[in-house]
Amino acid sequence: MRRFEHPCLIPVMPLPRHDPDVEDAALEAARKVMIEYKSLLADDPYARLDFPATGRILAELVRGVRHTMSLMQDTAGVRVIVIYPADRMNETAANSLLKLLEEPPDRSLLLLLTDRLRDLPQTILSRCQQITMTPLAPEEIAAALTTRYGIDPVRSGPLSRLAGGSLRRARELAEGDLEARLDDGLEFLRSAAIAHPEKLFTALGAWTALDTRKELHDRLEAVSYWIREALIAGTGDTSAGSSAPSGTSTGEVASRMALRYSFDALAALLDEIERTRLAIEANVPGNLALMTLAIKISRMMR
């Protein structure tokens, strides 16, 4: 099962571009891509799957699933179809899936996995039972980073708090310059708080030049890190900032913020950062979303 080789398990994932007029080409591309993905997940269930930016789950794949299931009617056990990420289905594929959802074969289970629920058609959502997976606690992520992957505990603490509950994301962040990322987030927060035009525009220019929304989200997560540390410091927990790597500002920053700003004010800042992240996710231009956030930070941290 872990190697995705079980006869009753049917994974469906995005395909790279191919000739849309040749269905055999789509199925052959799917076969090659799935071999690669299965190999990665077999070695590490938390491996990152780099789906093509333009890759989509096409109608040919959904029709292929329906055909495969029709041939498995006499197979013992429950047949499980995993569609991931489900938000990558194009309109034709979603319409084809509707037929399967409305009249699912006996002994079948369809799992649609996504972290972008708003991008799924309402016609699909209305026919599914929604199960929200709880993010991992920072302590769980930090322990896994140290015990499974040998990452220094001095780094695993900040990484776990930057990862948004995802062990996979923490591992990705571990490959970059953690100290620079944290310093970058703190500099943006300071520049916005004091409304320093030159520093703020420099930061905004660098951030809006980033290629992907995920990179922007990472920067925003670095800003959130310091606010969360201040919230922890405000509770009297002396661990706030104590796990920050050498070279970055330490718990003194969190303690000063906790003394200067109320718990409610800091919590409101986190809410604004989350609204900014959701705005970028909804295709609001990054420069506009970040400038709006900077103005709000300036007003809230006076």
Is 154 among the domain residues?
A: no
Distant-in-sequence, close-in-space partners of 70: CB < 8 Å, separation ≥ 6: 105
Do 116 and 185 lie in one domain? The reply is no
Half-sphere exposure of 296 (CA within 13 A, CB side): 17
Per the structure block, which two tokens stand in for 148? 């499974």
Is 230 among the domain residues?
A: yes
Is 164 among the domain residues?
A: no
Whether this model's pTM surpasses 0.75: no
State the pLDDT at residue 23.
55
Is 149 among the domain residues?
A: no
State the pLDDT at residue 16.
66
Is 147 among the domain residues?
A: no
Range of the domain at 19: 9-125
Is 133 among the domain residues?
A: no
Do 117 and 212 lie in one domain? The reply is no
Q: Decide: residue 146, CB within 10 A, 0-12 exposed, 13-18 middle, 19+ buried.
A: middle
Q: Going residue by residue through the chain, which has 302 residues, state the pLDDT in tens, using 9 for 90 and above.
A: 566 667 788 888 887 665 555 556 656 666 677 777 777 777 777 766 767 666 788 888 888 888 888 777 777 778 888 898 899 898 899 999 998 898 888 888 999 999 888 889 999 999 999 998 888 898 999 999 999 889 998 889 888 888 888 888 888 888 888 888 888 888 888 888 887 777 777 777 777 666 577 788 888 888 998 998 888 888 875 555 544 554 445 578 888 888 899 999 999 999 999 899 888 877 788 888 888 898 899 888 87
CB 41 within 8 A of CB 5: no
Three-state DSSP state, 264: helix
Specify the CATH number for the domain of residue 282.
Answer: 1.20.272
Last residue of a domain, one of 64, 90, 125: 125
State the pLDDT at residue 248.
46
Specify the CATH number for the domain of residue 116.
Answer: 3.40.50
